[in-house]
Amino acid sequence: MAKSTVKFRDSVASFETIRKEIAAKKFASIYLLMGEEGYFVDELADKLAEETLTEAEKAFNRVVVYGKDTGVGEIINTARQMPMMGERQVVVVREAQQLKKIEELQLYTANPSPTTILVLCHKEKSLDKRTQLYKHVQAKGVVFESVRPRDYEIREWLGNFVAAHGLKADPKAVEMLTEYLGTDIAKISNELAKLILSLPEGTARLTPEDVERGTGFSRDFNNFELCKAVVARNETRAMTIAENFAHNPKEHPMIVSVMSLFGQFKEIFILNYLIWQARHKGVPMPSDVELMGLLRLPSPFLVGELKKVASLWPNKITFKVLGLIREYDAKSKGMNSGGLDDGELLREMLLKIFAVR
């Protein structure tokens, strides 16, 4: 099967479009909700199960089955039935990826019932797009494909999620949440919902202090602050943070610090190259908005912060630093580590970074 070309941003845009259509009572006869990121699949399935029927109709006309416990024939027979005391019925197939001979649903999707909304929740992977089943749904219904975000994509989504709840998040608060919660969308939405509920009434801005109070994640000792200290050449501050990490290895694994520092110096390398091009080749310097896209940064604030420190790390030095970080990435995974633990490796790497000339 060909690799999907759908990006995380495409999934988010498609999710929002379908969600608005459901809220406006614009329903399709078949929905194929598929892909790696289960959060979006579950959200749309729940929205359809709630919005398509009145409370009185749900008892008679909402059917939920699971792929492992049902068969294609049963689903087709149920979908062909007439609704009771209402205009339509909703049939939701959860965990459809576990349904045996799922391709045989094409016998129904070739000619779907106009009084049934069939929702197929095909999580963990996407349905083969070469099948007749997929082609039928694409032609007569709605296909939603969900992909997992990469590390650099989660910050923007997280900021938008907070904004959708009527709050503006400080850039540092977003970075803290990104580091603390990772890229698991379901975990992020659950934890953020709890955090937002814990805020005093009338709160308009989510601050690092709010995040620390709500999650216990330190606003002073995290990878955002580590990167900030390193690129500002504040060796004392960086080593203090590294010492804290050494005492909390489970909360601050070496691999996460390595990834954060590598990403930060890669951004500096790209920015310095663009500045060199503008000075020596007459190429226009990108605007801050353009730099946000090129550097995959979620706010102009972070672009401004990067510009402040870029001159401290000329690219001949930055190139060496990136090599060092790669070396310690391998060591953190047990290759030629000399028996040093994560805390010792991090401190050693930082000292070498500051010594690069």
Q: Based on the fold, state whether residues 13 and 140 are members of the same structural domain.
A: yes
Residue 37 included in any domain: yes
Phi-psi label, residue 296: left if phi above 0, alpha if psi -120 to 50, beta otherwise: left
Q: Is the pLDDT of residue 205 over 80?
A: yes
Separation CA 262–CA 217 (nearest Å)? 22
- Kindly indicate the confidence band of residue 150, based on its pLDDT and cuts at 50, 70 and 90: confident
Q: Based on the fold, state whether residues 15 and 84 are members of the same structural domain.
A: yes
Final residue belonging to a domain, choices 177, 196, 215: 215
The percentage of residues in the chain with a pLDDT greater than 70, rounded to a whole number, is 99
The total domain count for the chain is: 3
CATH code, domain carrying 321: 1.20.272.10
Final residue belonging to a domain, choices 93, 128, 146: 146
Nearest to 67 by CA among 48, 32, 92: 92
Separation CA 141–CA 139 (nearest Å)? 6
Q: Which helix (H) or strand (E) holds 273?
A: helix 254-280
For residue 355 the two structure tokens come to 């010594």
What residues have CB less than 8 Å from 100, skipping those under 6 apart?
71, 72
Q: Report the pLDDT value the prediction gives residue 336, as an integer from 0 to 100.
A: 81
Higher-pLDDT residue of 180 and 352 is 352
Could you read off the pLDDT of 289-345 as tens digits, one per residue?
999 989 988 788 889 999 999 999 999 999 999 999 999 999 988 888 788 888 999
Contact in structure between 99 and 72 (CB atoms under 8 Å)? yes
Q: Based on the fold, state whether residues 264 and 283 are members of the same structural domain.
A: yes
A 10 A CB-CB count for 100 gives: 10
Residue 2 included in any domain: no
Tell me the CA distances in angstroms from 273 to 268, 269, 282, 316, one per residue in order. Answer: 8, 6, 13, 11
Identify the residue whose tokens are 């259509």: 21
Q: Based on the fold, state whether residues 107 and 196 are members of the same structural domain.
A: no
Separation CA 276–CA 281 (nearest Å)? 8
Mean pLDDT in the chain?
Answer: 92
Could you read off the pLDDT of 34-77 as tens digits, one per residue?
999 999 999 999 999 999 998 889 989 999 999 999 999 999 99
Q: Report the pLDDT value the prediction gives residue 112, as an integer from 0 to 100.
A: 95
Phi-psi label, residue 307: left if phi above 0, alpha if psi -120 to 50, beta otherwise: alpha
Angle subtended at Cα 270 by Cα 272 and Cα 327, rounded to the nearest 5 degrees: 105
Q: Which domain holds residue 192?
A: 151-215
Q: Is the pLDDT of residue 1 over 60?
A: no
- Can you spell out the DSSP letters for 294-334? HHT-S-HHHHHHHHHHHTTS-HHHHHHHHHHHHHHHHHHTT
Q: Based on the fold, state whether residues 21 and 123 are members of the same structural domain.
A: yes
Q: Based on the fold, state whether residues 173 and 227 are members of the same structural domain.
A: no
Q: Report the pLDDT value the prediction gives residue 2, as an integer from 0 to 100.
A: 52
Q: Which helix (H) or strand (E) holds 57?
A: helix 55-61
Q: Is the pLDDT of residue 286 over 90?
A: yes
DSSP code at position 4: P
